[in-house]
Amino acid sequence: MPRPTLPDFAFAAALLAINVSAHAVENLADCATIEADDARLACYDRLSGRAAAKAVPVAQAADSVPPARSLLNEAWELEDKSELFRVRRYKPVYLLPVFHASQVNPTPYSPTRGTAATLGKPDNNEAKFQISFKTKVADDLFNDNGDLWIGYTQSSRWQVYSSAYSRPFRETNYEPEAMFVWRTNFDLLGMSARYASLGINHQSNGQGGALSRGWNRAIAAVGLESGDWTLTLRPWWRLPDRGANDDNPDVADYAGRGELLLTRVLGGHVFSAEARHSLRGGSHSHGSLRLDWAFPIDEHLRGHVQWFSGYAESLIDYNHHANYFGLGISLVEWH
């Protein structure tokens, strides 16, 4: 075996020096002296036997953030194709065992039908309930846009406290409708316009003679949202009726020619304000304001408070002005 020479010793010493220098900081005291954060953390990870954590790519981190909630997309299923003929929520569904009128209407009047003969004076206190639903019947009728929906709303005023008159239903309004809904993407009034729609609406009370009321409308709408706020603008045009057979030729002067519906969802609470107006001046200037508040009671049930002031709280009272206050329960969220 040959004896090591001086160059061999020099080479071995150099290797040892490199190895020592590479591991000279492999103790906690030396790790602490490293200025760079990443290098100092890597030093501690090596000493502990733990692999350095991998950085999460920016795109992956962005994907982990849940998308912002869209109230109008939830209501009208704007972003993706969805199941047809499935019942969805529409307008509020509630039962108000307490519904008080400041001024009852004992003599409903129509300019073409005259004054209705009624049995006694209605009680100022009654119960009111409403059911409402809609369903999508067709998807993307115009290339990749344009959905067809049909809806139905029914509201009743029940004289449940009038025991002397067999507790009759004073008024029920029936409202079927159909509407085309287009997805939109533009800004209006500082909000995002999510959809526009055009539809046909019929509303009547199913009664005859001087108590008969009904009208048909073509209704346009645009739905706007910003965060938990939504704003729906709905102008309409009353379709002509049958001349002298018209039950209520001046209904638009009282029930209005359009409405504005503003809603706010806050936690489990839903607040809404609905304003209607005839869009005329002078003696034809009439309108109404309805405020609703639904608040959580448990997971599936909410309390419901309603206040209304103006004309046309119901069709039978379309030309009667009063204030109404209701208290009860609400079954579904709406916006």
288 is a catalytic site residue? no
Cβ–Cβ < 8 Å for 116, 107: yes
202 is a catalytic site residue? yes
Task: Tell me which of 165 and 20 has the higher pLDDT.
Answer: 165
Tell me the one-letter amino acid at 35: E
Dist. CA 159–CA 210, nearest whole Å = 20
Length of the chain: 335
Predicted confidence (pLDDT) at residue 2 exceeds the cutoff of 60 = no
- pLDDT, mean of residues 81-87: 90
pLDDT at 45: 74
pLDDT category of residue 60 using cuts at 50, 70 and 90: low
Predicted confidence (pLDDT) at residue 24 exceeds the cutoff of 50 = no
What is the DSSP code string of 179-214? EEEEEEEEEETTEEEEEEEEEEEEEE----GGG--E
C-alpha distances out from residue 60 to 51, 55, 65, 328, Å:
21, 10, 9, 47
> Which candidate in 70, 156, 202, 321 is catalytic?
202
pLDDT at 334: 79
Q: 3-state DSSP call for residue 44?
A: helix
pTM of the model: 0.80
Dihedrals φ, ψ of 233, to 5°? -105, 125
pLDDT at 267: 87
Give which of 121, 74, 46, 106 is closest to 265, Cα–Cα. 74
Task: Tell me which of 37 and 257 has the higher pLDDT.
Answer: 257
Task: Tell me which of 12 and 300 has the higher pLDDT.
Answer: 300
C-alpha distances out from residue 37 to 31, 32, 34, 40, 42, Å:
10, 10, 8, 5, 9
pLDDT at 43: 73
Among the ranges given (23-32, 114-123, 149-158, 276-285), the one the predictor scored with the smallest mean pLDDT: 23-32
pLDDT at 117: 74
Dist. CA 289–CA 218, nearest whole Å = 22
Task: Tell me which of 333 and 57 has the higher pLDDT.
Answer: 333
Residue 328's Cβ-side half-sphere holds a number of Cα atoms within 13 Å equal to 20
pLDDT at 277: 98
What does the pLDDT look like over 97-108, one tens digit per residue?
Answer: 999 999 999 999
Dihedrals φ, ψ of 304, to 5°? -140, 130
pLDDT at 82: 84
| Helices (runs of H) and strands (runs of E) counted in the chain | 6, 15
> Which candidate in 70, 156, 204, 309 is catalytic?
204
Average pLDDT over the chain reads: 86
What does the pLDDT look like over 189-239, one tens digit per residue?
Answer: 999 999 999 999 999 999 998 999 999 999 999 999 999 999 999 999 999
pLDDT category of residue 52 using cuts at 50, 70 and 90: very low
Cβ–Cβ < 8 Å for 291, 307: yes
- pLDDT, mean of residues 175-195: 96
pLDDT over 70 for what percent of the chain? 83
pLDDT over 90 for what percent of the chain? 67
